[in-house]
Each structure stands twice: as C-alpha cells, then as structure tokens.
Chains A and B, each alone.
Chain A
Amino acid sequence: MSDLYRSALSARISKLPMLPPEPDEDDEESEAADSLGSLPPPVAGIGPTTMPGTRAYASAQRKRAPNPELTPLSASAYFAQATQIAVPDSGLDVRAYYTPPRVREGGEPGTVIVCHHGAGQSALTFALAAGEVTELSRGECGVLALDCRGHGKTATTIPRPGPEGGEDFSIETLTSDFVNTLKVLYPDPGAAPSLLLSGHSLGGSVIVRACPLLQDLKYRLAGVAVLDIVEEFTLEALPMMHSLLDARPAGFGSQEEAIEWHLKTNAVRNPLSARVSVPAIIQPAPEGTSPAWIWRTPLRNTAPYWTSWFTSLSKLFLTARTARLLVLAGAERLDRELMIGQMQGKFQLTVVTGVGHMLQEDDPRKLAEVLVEFWRRNERVVPAGVKKVGER
C-alpha cells in the first residue's frame, strides 16, 4: 500500500487509547484494602496519593519494610555543632545548628550566614548547603541555621497563644523570635561577626523584617538573601495551599517512608538532602496511634497568618539598607515591584535552574556558590570613616 495510507494508518493507531496495565496484585494486598481498618482522617482533595479505598492507601496502612537506601542521616557532617539556646524573651528553647567562622588574623570576627527556613520546614533544610559553604569559603564563612517557633526541635517554654487562636505564628512574633535569638547568641553587637541573613520562603519574609531591627541594634549586616519567594505570586497561590496540604498523607509508617514520599512527589529532588532534612519535619506519633510518624508542624493551624506573612515583602526587601540578593528557582518570574527594582539595580538576581522550590536542598552547591560570591563581593575592608552600603 502507499506510504500515505500507511502513515495515515499509523497515525490512527497511535491515537488509540493505551491498554490498561495488567494489574499484577497479589490477593493479600487486595484483601487488606477491603478490610475495615481504623477510620482514617478525612482525606479529601485532589491529592494523588492515599485516597481511602485505593491500594496505595491500603499499603500506606500496612507496615512496609523501610527502604535501606533511605535511612535518615545525621547533620553532624554538615554542621560543627548543634545546640539548644534558651531565649526567654520569646519563651522558646531554640535549636540552632552552628558552624563558627574561622577567626582570621587581626581578630576580625568574620561573617556568619544566618539561615531561616520556610513554613513546615526545619533548619536542617540548609544542612547540605552549609557544608558546601564551609568548604567553598574554606571555613571563613560561618553558618547558623535556626529552627523557628513550632518547628524542628525548638520547644516552647512559655506558650504564646495567637490572636487568631492556636499558637501565635504572626510575622511579628516570628521576627522578634529571630532577633531575640541572635541577641542571645551574640550579646555584643560590636564584637559579633557580620551577618548575612538568608531566608527561604517564609524565612525570607522574616529576615527582611528583622534586617532594620538588627541594624537599629547596631549589628553589622553583610547582606540579605531571599530564596525563592516573590510576594505577588505567593499571595495568589495561597488558596491552593489548602488543597496541597490535603494531598499530603496524614503520616508515615517510618522515617524512610517519609523520605521516600518526599522524593517521589518531587518535594525534594536530592535524596541525600532529604535523608537529612525530612526526619526533622516529622515526629513520632503518640504511642499506639497510627500512623507512627506525623508532621511536626500542623501547617493548617497557621492558615490565618499566611497572608500577613507575605504582604509587603517586596517593599521591605527593596528598602532593606544592605546588599540584597534574590535567588529564584527555575524561572525568572518577578512581580511588578521587584521588576522595577531590578531594572533600577537595587538587588542582585540569580536564577538557579533544574531545581524545585527547595533549591537549597536540590542543588546545595550552587546555592553555596551564589551566597559565598555574594558575600565576597559585598564584604570590603572598609577604612574607618567610610560608610558601607546602607549605613546611616
């Protein structure tokens, strides 16, 4: 037959629907799905996993042998020390991971990159990046990562109920927590190392608000780096957060399972980093309940504060009186304010490709390079009397 007929035929054949894959289940699994287990929490929404009645849900219920390749890793390889800092002004016992900067000749205190994580995350999200920074700067640049209120291993000593009910997660509280912690860590602003504040997602909002407060307290700021957060788009996406949260499983059977879920749903694309950071965002469930591991931070309770977190972020970023850096993941999408600011040269913009929202985890090396370069570029030996950028 002619080529025309053949090509028309193959075009039609390719449009035929695919045969459904052969279900190769064993009988046990399907029986487990049929049996009535304990009533699961309502799982509605458009999530891909764990709808009740699906086999995946049944398997989530069943205990599965943990995947040996995904055992949790300690962050001790990436940070020099982990301490718990009592911050009475905030009523918190803050967990901090710290690599102090190498003291240079002349007693210069050096620089510390202070990292604030995003909502529902923990300080260990910066673990791999911290290790890279230490390596790249040959120890000259220190790294400090904090667990903020209600996250990681930070404990609340004095409960602070919020105006909206539940714990107080308002942006003002988070900012003051951050500032208070630094005050405890570095009581003498003059002797303290210069600080390069770096915040991911919600953390970015915290640091741009903390920046003027710290400068008023006479701390020296090397710069402020906001990671992958743009006000306008985040505010637009807030309504979708609820369905995103609904798609998350209520918990996991083991830490490995949690790590696997994060990798499978591409929340984190770097397996090594997931093994360090994911265990910090889940906690063991109370004895006897299922699933065995639940989320550390019930994000749904913070919903009332979401809008306040990100409002006026762009404005505050552009008016921070220090060197500014914005790192975006994947694509250069700026809102109107940031775009004007960028055209006016008010900040450095870096786009990292091939990474997801957790860019510090997906490509820690790249982020470390960007931060260290930003630090070196803005750190100058300043003769006395000459004001640095933004200094009053």
Chain B
Amino acid sequence: MDQDASGSGGWRFAQCFGDKGDVEDITEADIISAVEFDSTGNYLATGDKGGRVVLFQRNELKKGCEYKFYTEFQSHEPEFDYLKSLEIEEKINKIKWCKRQNAAHFLLSTNDKTIKLWKVFEKSLRVVSETNMHDGQQALAPPMAAQGLKLPRMTPQDQITAAVPRKVYSNAHAYHIHSISVNSDQETYISADDLRVNLWNLEVSDRSFNIVDIKPANMEELTEVITAAEFHPNHCNLFMYSSSKSNMKLADMRESALCDRHAKLFEEEEDPSNRSFFSEIISSISDVKFSHDGRYILSRDYLSLKIWDINMESKPVKTISIHDHLRGKLCDLYENDCIFDKFECTWGGDDKHVLTGSYHNYFRIFDVDDSGDVVLQADKSAFKAKKMGGPLPGNKAGAKNGVRPGGLRENMAMDTLDFNKKILHSSWHPREDTIAIAATNNLFLYSAA
C-alpha cells in the first residue's frame, strides 16, 4: 500500500449489508454483535442481538471482493434462569469457525451462557418421483402380482443449506461468556467468562475442565475480571487471557491442570504521573489477539492499541493511540457508560497491519512496522460516494460532503462525536486485504486488494 493521495490507504468500500436506514429506527435485534471470517476467507459469519447467525459466501464468479448471502439460522433463543430470576439474552457474543475438514462447515457460536456447535451443510432434498401408484406423470394401475412391486424412486429436487446444532455445551458458566477460542489441534476449545476459563473437547458436550479461576473467596473483594481469552495459533498448549487490570497472562497447559499461575505476564508499568480516577477503567484490556505467526500479541485498551513481542513481558513493542482526544472527555464517557465499551482488535492476514474501531463509525488501520495509519468511516457516505463514482470521504479532493481538508483524522477529533455509533466488532480476511466491519445493524466490507 503506497502513500496515495486519497489518504484512505488504498482501501475502497466494497459492500454493505443491512437495511442502511437511519440510526433512529433500528430494531434492537438487528444489531450485529459478532463478525468472523472463516480460515479460508470464503465465508463470513455474523451474529446479532436477536440470536441469529447469518453466513455470507464469497462470490467466486466475480473478480473483485464480493460476498453474497449464504444462509441464516436462529442460533440461540432468549432464556430465563428460574433460579436467579434473570433473563439470559440471546445475543451472540462470539462466533469462531472450526477448520474445514469435509464438505460441511462447523462453527461455534455462544451467547452469555450456552455454546453451540453448528454444522452448516448443503443438503439435497430428495423427493419420491415414482411409486407403485404413480410414475411421475400419470397414475398407474396397482400391481397385481408380487413381481410387479418395485421400490419407489427418489430424485434430487433441491439443494438447501441446512444448519443443525451438533453439540450444545451448556451449564458450565456462572457468569457471562465473552470469549471462545478453538485450539490449533481442532479438538479442544476454551470458553471464558468474567472469572473462569473452561476447556472443552468438541466431541464432549456434558463435561468441561476449569483451567483458570480468579474468583475471590469473598465476592466483596472482587477487583479483577477476565476480559478476553485466546489460544495460541500454533502451540496447542499455550493460551492467553487478559484482565481488567491491564495485564495479560500467557498460560501453559502442560504445567498443571489449573493454570492459575501464569507462564508469562505482560504488563506495562503505569506512569504514575498519568494516574487519574479513570486510569484503571481505561487501562482495562478489552480484547487480545495473537498474530497469525504467533510471535506477537495485540491488546486493545480503551484509548490505545499495544503490540507486544511474546518474548518480552515488560513493555509493548509499539503503542498506538486510537482516539486520544477522548482523554479529556472521560468524565462524560463514564456518565454515559461508553467508557466500558469493549472494542475488538484484529491482525491483518499478513500480520503487517492492525485494525480497530472507534466512535462515530470511525475505524483505523495501522501499519505495524512503520507509522502509516488510515482512518475510515463506515457510514452511508461511503456507499453514496461509491454510487457517484467519486472518491471516499476524507479525500482532499472530494470535499463534497463539506468534509474539512486534511481528512477524517481531524474529523475524528470533532466535538460532536456520536457515541452511539461505535465500531466494536470487525474481522480481517486471512489471506487478502479485505475487512468486514459491523456498524450497528449494517455490515460493511472494504477491500484494498
């Protein structure tokens, strides 16, 4: 990606799925809460607040990046916990694909309490075409003798895409599940809630092992919760979990059955001069991801992204500020609860870029090695510009929307940010520079390929 005059890093808006309507009348159930490409990048899964999973398939016939709707199914239903008198939301918190082993697709989707393994496959519907009474076109006389009897013939009529829950992993978590991660051995996976991490075997749905437990003996002394967990992409014994106390722990399952003692602790010493009432809240890590080669770790806290070398625990290799102009507004963000937003972060397929979201539908892509950074906005303006054939907003040349020259970077620091429009979930195609961005109830696809 060379420096280009458009300032958008070569990224072009490709597609938008969703009703593209105004923000005011969004159905709550349509809000996208999870986005994930599969390991080939040919399929894209999204989960929403209504418990539905929608799958998109790459359109191979077209040259460029284009996805079409593949199938949809209702993954989770709202439930009621009678013991605690609490509603269990059907919102899909995470979707993770298993690696493809045969013609069917397997993916894990989870809500607050239950994880389900779905098998999505093409099913050909066969209908009975010839019977003893009917040969497909006209009625037949019923056979008189035993030799006249023949088996009914079936012919394939239709191909439908079916989704079947193969396994339901339930009743293992007392708190809300926020992360799942499939192991590189494709046999096990972990699920993490606020205080515990459980290890499952994909084949066994009635039993799981607890490998991390940070619940204090007295709940009144609770100070720390687990915020994200992920398996290492290559080593099947290593996994990582991040906490609200701005540290990440790398644990080795070979060491002991209960991985409370970490193998590595990644924590940056805080600058005491920067401490404020909100320091603890904004330093809480909202998402953590291994790079594809497993050598680096990407962590996202409220205001910045940090890239860590897995061998160096003391400080990150690179710290990137996302929206530092919010530092002065922490009080207001605390009042409207936005300070607790959990932004996700993603590695590019070649580990050379990182992506994360911000407010007012802005999202940013940063270069890992040098200082390039791109600001884009997942907004109606993106596809309006495309329709008219013009450049993306933020370009110096395209001042159609009254955008100030200098691009979106300056716009991001505007005072009138809409904090209801936030990019929390995104996913990067594993093999090319295509990204899927969830903007409330719309799914945006950008491509730089």
Contact = CB atoms under 8 A, between A and B. Distances in A.
Nearest to B178: A2
Most buried by B among A3, A5, A6, A11: A5
B227 interface: yes
Contacts of B281: 9
Interface in A1-53: 1-6, 8-9, 11-12
B211 interface: no
B222 A8 contact: yes
B194 interface: yes
Contacts of B178: 2
B353 interface: no
Nearest to A12: B223
B75 interface: no
Contacts of B340: 1, 5-6
A69 to B, nearest CB: 41
A1 B282 CA distance: 11
B284 A2 contact: no
Interface residues of A, number: 10
B345 to A, nearest CB: 16
Label chain B's interface by main secondary structure: loop
B244 interface: yes
A4 B223 contact: no
A2 B176 CA distance: 8
A2 B175 contact: yes
B220 A5 contact: no
A2 B194 contact: yes
Nearest to B277: A13
Contacts of A3: 176
A11 B220 contact: yes
Given A8-B222, A8-B225, A11-B220, A1 B175 contact: no
A8 B280 CA distance: 13
Contacts of B342: 1
A2 B244 CA distance: 10
Label chain A's interface by main secondary structure: helix
Contact of A2 (B220, B223, B225): B225
Interface in B159-198: 175-176, 178, 194-195
A6 B194 CA distance: 11
Contacts of A12: 223
Interface string B246-279: 0000000000000000000000000000000000
A249 to B, nearest CB: 42
Contacts of A11: 220
B175 A4 contact: yes
B284 A1 contact: yes
Nearest to A11: B220
A380 B281 CA distance: 78
A1 B222 contact: no
A6 B340 CA distance: 8
Contacts of B225: 1-2, 4-5, 8
Contacts of A6: 340
Nearest to B227: A1
A74 to B, nearest CB: 56
Contacts of B244: 1, 5
A92 B176 CA distance: 83
Contacts of B175: 2, 4
Contacts of B286: 1
Interface in B322-348: 340-342
Contacts of B223: 8, 12
Interface in B190-214: 194-195
A1 B178 CA distance: 10
B146 to A, nearest CB: 70
Nearest to A5: B225
A9 B281 CA distance: 9
A4 B194 contact: yes
A6 B280 CA distance: 12
Most buried by A among B178, B225, B286, B342: B225
A4 B176 CA distance: 9
Nearest to A16: B277
Contacts of A2: 175-176, 178, 194, 225
Contacts of B227: 1
Interface in B122-141: none
A11 B341 CA distance: 19
A11 B223 CA distance: 10
Interface in A72-86: none
A8 B227 CA distance: 14
B354 to A, nearest CB: 22
A237 to B, nearest CB: 37
Contacts of B195: 4
A391 to B, nearest CB: 67
Contacts of B176: 2-4
B281 to A, nearest CB: 7
A376 B340 CA distance: 70
A11 B281 CA distance: 14
Interface string B106-134: 00000000000000000000000000000
Nearest to A4: B194
Nearest to A2: B194
A1 B281 CA distance: 10
A3 B342 CA distance: 12
A8 B341 CA distance: 16
A5 B286 CA distance: 12
A72 B244 CA distance: 63
Interface string B270-313: 00000000000100101000000000000000000000000000
A1 B302 CA distance: 11
B202 to A, nearest CB: 26
B49 to A, nearest CB: 16
B284 A4 contact: no
A3 B178 CA distance: 12
Contacts of A5: 194, 225, 244, 284, 340
B242 to A, nearest CB: 12
Contacts of B222: 4, 8
A11 B221 CA distance: 10
A9 B284 CA distance: 12
Most buried by B among A2, A3, A4, A6: A2
B130 to A, nearest CB: 60
A8 B340 CA distance: 13
Interface string A103-119: 00000000000000000
Most buried by A among B194, B195, B342: B194
A355 to B, nearest CB: 39
Nearest to B337: A6
A3 to B, nearest CB: 7
A5 B227 CA distance: 10
A153 to B, nearest CB: 61
Nearest to B174: A4
A11 to B, nearest CB: 7
Interface string B215-251: 0000010110101000000000000000010000000
8 contacts: A1-B340, A1-B342, A2-B175, A2-B178, A2-B194, A4-B225, A5-B194, A12-B223
Interface of B: 175-176, 178, 194-195, 220, 222-223, 225, 227, 244, 281, 284, 286, 340-342
Given A2-B176, A8-B225, 15 more contacts: A1-B225, A1-B244, A1-B284, A1-B286, A2-B175, A2-B194, A2-B225, A4-B176, A4-B222, A4-B225, A5-B194, A5-B244, A5-B284, A8-B222, A11-B220
